[in-house]
A and B are shown apart, each in its own frame.
Chain A
Amino acid sequence: MSHIRHSLQIRHVDAGSCNGCEQELTALTSAAYDFQHVGLDWVASPRHADALLVTGPMSDPMVRPVERVWAAIPSPKWRIAFGDCAAGCGVFQPAYGTHGGLPEADLVIRGCPPEPGAALQQLRDAMRSTTPPQS
C-alpha cells in the first residue's frame, strides 16, 4: 500500500449520477478543500490512475465503459464507490435501467451526496490504511 501513502491518482466515471456527486468532486479541487495539497488528484487517463471512482447507480449504458476503464488501470488498483447510488443503496436501485451501483468496492463513501470535507477525510484515511488492495 505504500505506493499510495503519499499520492492517490483517481479516474472518475459517472454511471448515472444526478450530478450532485460530481459537483462535490469538483468542490474537492477548489481552494476550500484543495485535495491536491494532500496528494490526491483526478487523472485524465486510466493508465495514470491508482483507483477508479464511480458515481451513480450503474446505469446500463455505462456497464461496459466502466469495465473497460477498470481493465485499463494498471494493478494494484482500487475501486471507490462515491455516494449512496454507487454504494448500492440509493433511491434509483429499483429502476429498470440500473445495476445496483459499483460492485466489489474497496472503499465506499456514503452520502447523498457525500459532503466534501467528510469524503476528503475518508480518502485520506484509506491512503493511510495498510490493507492491500483487492486487485
Chain B
Amino acid sequence: MDNSWIRQNVALKEAHAELLTLTATRNQSMRATWLDPVSGRQELVIVEVCQERFPSLTSVLPEVAWDEREIHDVFGYVPEGHPNPRPLLRTPRWPENFRPLRERPDVRPTWQDADPDNPALTVEGNGVTVMKVGPTHAGIIESGHFVFSLMGENVLHLDTHLFQNHRGVESLLESQTVDGVASIVTRICAADTVSHQTNWALAVEALSGYEAEAAVSLGRVVLLESERVLSHLNDLAQIPAGVGFQVAHQQALAMKEDWQRGLQGMYGHRFLFDTVRPGWVAPPDPENLLRLVYALRRAWTPWQHLVEGHHGFNDRMADVGVTTHADVVRFGGQGVVSRAAGKGFDARTLLPLYQDLRPVPVVESGGDVRARFNVRVREVEASLRLIEDAAARLRRETAAGDIPWSPQDGHSGQVAVYTESPHGLNVHDVTMDNGRVVRYHIRAATYRNWPLLAHAVPGNAVADFPLINKSFELCYSCADR
C-alpha cells in the first residue's frame, strides 16, 4: 500500500505544521490539510481509499487517533494498522451496516434495542477500582461518560466515552443550500457559535472569491472577541466553583450576566446566535460597545485582585492536571490548553480578518490548572483591548453591515477555513457543488483537547477531576456534533 501518505504527513508534522483536518469523502478518498503556522499557507495531502482500507497514521501521529476511529464509524473505511481501532461514535444501537456519511442525509436508521455503551478500557489487577461517571451528571453539565481506573484515590487511567450529544450535524449539512447552513452551524455549540458562523461565512466568501469589506471584518472581530470574553468569563466562574470559592464564582457569573445583557441589547441574542452570515455581519454599535467594556472593567479589576491575592485558591490550582509542552505537541492540543503549556499558537495572528489589530498570543509555561486560569484572565484583558480598538475604528467607518452582498448561486469547490474560537483552532472543511453542500467536516478545538485531558488526569487524585475538567472546559457539543 502507498506509504507516501504516511511519509508526507509525518514530514509536515516534523516541520511544525498544524493539522487542520483529516477527513474522508464518500467517493473513497481521504485528505489531510495542514497549516504553516508562520506563513498561513495550506498544504493538502491526499490518499485513495483502497478496498475500503487506508493506511493508519495513528502510531506515528497520535493526534489523529480519534479522526481515524471516526472515519471508520461514519464511512466504514478501515484504518489499517491503527493500534486501537474501537468505535468512537458508533454505539451498539447502530444498525449493523449503518455508515451515516455514506447514506443519504434523510435516511434514518432503525436503532437496535440495546444499551448505548461500548466496552470501556480499564486497568485490571489487585486493588484497582473502576468508577463510572455519567452519562447523566449530578449538576448542570453536558452529557459524557467517564470510566476511571483508580488505585485508592489516584487515577491510573481515564477512558472517556463521549458523543452522547452526537446529533449527526455533518450529515444534516449535506445537500443544504447557503441559506440552510447558517441556522444549523450557529447551533453546533453555544460557546463557540460566532466562530462556527464566521467559518461558514469565510468558506462561502472564499469559494465566491469575495473579500469582505474592512468594516464587515471589524464587526466580526468585535463579535469573535465578545464571544471569547463571554466564554472565558464562564470558565473563570467555573474554576473557582470547582474548589468551593463561591465569592469568585458568583462575582464572575455576575460579570458574565451583565456582559450577556449588554450583548443582547446590541445584537438581540445572549449568545450571539445568527450574527454572522456570508457577506454580512450584524451591525455593531461602537458607542454601546465601549460603554459595555468600560462597565465590565469596573467589576473585573476588583475581581482580579480578589483571585490573584487569594493564596489558598492559587495553591489549590498549582501543579494540578499538568499537561506538558511535549504532550500538547504530540496530541495536537489547541487553544488555552496549549498556550498554558508554552505552545504559542493562536490562529488570530494568521487571519486577514484581524488586519493590523495585531493580536498577540498569551503564553504561560506551567501547563497546570493555574496556568490555564491565568491565560484566560490575560486573554479577557487582551480581547477587551481588541474590542475597544475595533470599536474606535468602526466609529470612523461607514455603517458596517449595510453593504449588501449576497453570494452568487452555484459556487463549487473545496476549502478549509478556520478561526480561533474561545476553545482554540476551529476548522471547517467545506465542499460545495453548484451551491449545495456535498461534504461538511467540522473539527473543533475540543476534539483535539479531549484526548489530552484523558492524558492529563492520571496521576492526580480523582477528587481533582472536576477542577481539571473545568480548567480545560471542553464543550461536548463541538466535539460530538
Chain A residues within CB distance 8 Å of chain B = 12-27, 29-32, 42, 44-45, 56-57, 59-65, 69, 90-92, 94-98, 112-113, 115
Chain B residues within CB distance 8 Å of chain A = 91, 93, 100, 103, 105-109, 111, 115-116, 135-136, 138-143, 163-169, 171-172, 183-184, 187-191, 193, 234, 250, 253-254, 256-257, 260, 270-271, 273, 475-477, 480
Q: Which of B108, B138, B166, B271 makes the CB contact (< 8 A) with A20?
A: B271
Bound: A96/B106 CA distance, A: 7
* Min distance, Cβ B257 to any Cβ of chain A, angstroms: 5
A13 close to B187 (CB less than 8 A): no
Bound: A35/B212 CA distance, A: 44
Taking CB as reference atom, which chain A residue is nearest B241? A26
Taking CB as reference atom, which chain A residue is nearest B258? A32
Residues of B within 8 A of A96 (CB): 100, 103, 105, 107-109, 168, 171-172
A31 close to B254 (CB less than 8 A): yes
* Min distance, Cβ B454 to any Cβ of chain A, angstroms: 19
* Min distance, Cβ A85 to any Cβ of chain B, angstroms: 8
Q: Which of A13, A56, A65, A94 makes the CB contact (< 8 A) with B106?
A: A94
* Min distance, Cβ A14 to any Cβ of chain B, angstroms: 5
Bound: A69/B109 CA distance, A: 25
Residues of B within 8 A of A44 (CB): 138-139
B169 close to A30 (CB less than 8 A): no
Bound: A19/B473 CA distance, A: 12
Report whether over half of chain B's contact residues are helix, strand or loop; otherwise say mixed.
loop
A18 close to B93 (CB less than 8 A): no
Taking CB as reference atom, which chain A residue is nearest B171? A96
* Min distance, Cβ B81 to any Cβ of chain A, angstroms: 29
Residues of A within 8 A of B167 (CB): 16, 57, 59, 92, 95, 97-98
B253 close to A30 (CB less than 8 A): yes
B140 close to A61 (CB less than 8 A): no
Interface centre among B140, B184, B270, B477 (most CB of A within 10 A): B140
Taking CB as reference atom, which chain A residue is nearest B113? A64
Taking CB as reference atom, which chain A residue is nearest B249? A30
Residues of B within 8 A of A16 (CB): 143, 164-167, 477, 480
Residues of A within 8 A of B189 (CB): 18-19
Interface centre among B91, B106, B107, B168 (most CB of A within 10 A): B168
Residues of B within 8 A of A65 (CB): 116, 135-136, 143, 164
A14 close to B171 (CB less than 8 A): no
- A selection of 29 A-B contacts at a CB cut-off of 8 Å is A13-B143, A17-B142, A18-B187, A19-B142, A20-B273, A21-B190, A23-B191, A23-B271, A26-B253, A30-B253, A31-B250, A44-B138, A44-B139, A56-B165, A59-B480, A60-B91, A61-B135, A61-B164, A62-B165, A65-B135, A90-B187, A92-B169, A92-B184, A94-B106, A94-B172, A97-B100, A97-B166, A97-B167, A97-B168
* Min distance, Cβ B92 to any Cβ of chain A, angstroms: 10
Q: Which of B116, B139, B169, B271 makes the CB contact (< 8 A) with A95?
A: B169
